[in-house]
A = this chain, B = another copy of it.
């Protein structure tokens, strides 16, 4: 029995291992990337479930088209392009979470050795997907305003790249967004070098303050951008309903690939999300999420001000689910993690997310899935461990 070549580089992510530890309920975990389950619109979805069973009957249980059910695709197209000038149903493919969008895009674009540009750090699940197809990942330096355009131009100049993978809003792991002013320049560079942007935006709706900048798709159009969007963070992740918005030819090819991948996204979940969106309580629910997550971010920052030594840096994202922390140069976040686990607090060392292996002194902290009380206690314990290490 011989495995395929791609398996040689395959490893379970360290995050997965950390998450196993945190299934112990005594541990306060800032490690996962989970939305707050107590905020799921549980009763509303239970009602909607009954409604779709009685309204559409067996259709909600039967095979349906690979592209996804029409009304949901139409709603997504309208949400991205209210006037209907640029996007129609044929620009939308429903996927089994955005992770599947990444898998399908990888299948369409990546051969062994194909160059994929990413932010540095970047979303681990995307890196895993690209590496399964044996892409060559080229990280591009990012700062507090996102990807650095001079660096992007420089890396593009080094040779052909197929894709630039970027999370425009409240990126996982850092919570950083690509600044509004950088977006047109970014698109100009990729256009020049014939690189397709994969804009992955699961957190964009979770904005706490300020105005959401136009998406890369809205700015660059389907010639330059493939957009991945998701209902995992705004409704519920267990339904696995997300979408790709792209050029019609690309959507058609991705649909043919999806046929061979899983035939179609689960029908019931599509009807459920479609009916829920029609009910019109979605906007109200988004306001609740923004308010609650914004409050938890503030709790975490205030706790840090009380408990972290001043040598430790952290940012203040204006949306999403994550905060980013930097320990003093030369410190290893994994050493801190070991001490924190003894104190029953968990987080993810940031190095995991850097394709270039840097970032050993960085930390990703999730605030969406912890109560304000646990945030206070967890951050205090982290601060104690930091001080114990002489930071």
Q: Which residues of A contact B (CB under 8 A)?
A: 1-7, 10-13, 16, 34-35, 37-38, 40, 42, 45-46, 49-50, 53-54, 57-64, 96-97, 99-100, 102-103, 107-111, 114, 125, 128-129, 131-133, 162, 194, 196, 236-240, 252-253, 256-257, 259-269, 272
Q: Are the C-beta atoms of A238 and B60 separated by less than 8 Å?
A: yes
Q: Which residues of B lie under 8 Å from residue A265 when comparing CB positions? A: 240
Q: Are the C-beta atoms of B238 and A266 separated by less than 8 Å?
A: yes
The listed residue (B107, B125, B263) touching A125 by CB distance below 8 A is B263
Q: Are the C-beta atoms of B239 and A114 separated by less than 8 Å?
A: no
For A240, A262, A269, which residue has the most chain B Cβ atoms within 10 angstroms?
A: A262
Distance A10 CA – B237 CA, assembled complex (angstroms): 31
Q: Are the C-beta atoms of A261 and B99 separated by less than 8 Å?
A: yes
Q: Are the C-beta atoms of B253 and A61 separated by less than 8 Å?
A: no
Output the nearest chain B residue to A130 by Cβ-Cβ distance: B260
Distance A11 CA – B6 CA, assembled complex (angstroms): 25
* Oligomeric state, in copies: 2
Q: How near does chain B come to A183, taking the closest CB pair, in angstroms?
A: 20
Q: Are the C-beta atoms of B240 and A264 separated by less than 8 Å?
A: yes
Distance A133 CA – B3 CA, assembled complex (angstroms): 13
Output the nearest chain B residue to A13 by Cβ-Cβ distance: B259
Q: Are the C-beta atoms of A132 and B50 separated by less than 8 Å?
A: no
Q: Are the C-beta atoms of A1 and B240 separated by less than 8 Å?
A: no
Q: How near does chain B come to A117, taking the closest CB pair, in angstroms?
A: 15
Distance A260 CA – B131 CA, assembled complex (angstroms): 9
Q: Are the C-beta atoms of A238 and B46 separated by less than 8 Å?
A: no
Q: Which residues of B lie under 8 Å from residue A264 when comparing CB positions? A: 240
Q: Which residues of B lie under 8 Å from residue A262 when comparing CB positions? A: 96-97, 99-100, 103, 240, 262
Output the nearest chain B residue to A260 by Cβ-Cβ distance: B128
Q: How near does chain B come to A17, taking the closest CB pair, in angstroms?
A: 12
**Selected A-B contacts with CB under 8 Å, 26 pairs:** A4-B109, A4-B110, A4-B111, A10-B253, A10-B257, A37-B59, A40-B62, A42-B57, A42-B58, A46-B49, A49-B49, A61-B237, A61-B239, A96-B96, A96-B240, A100-B261, A100-B262, A102-B260, A107-B132, A128-B260, A129-B261, A238-B266, A239-B267, A240-B267, A268-B268, A269-B269
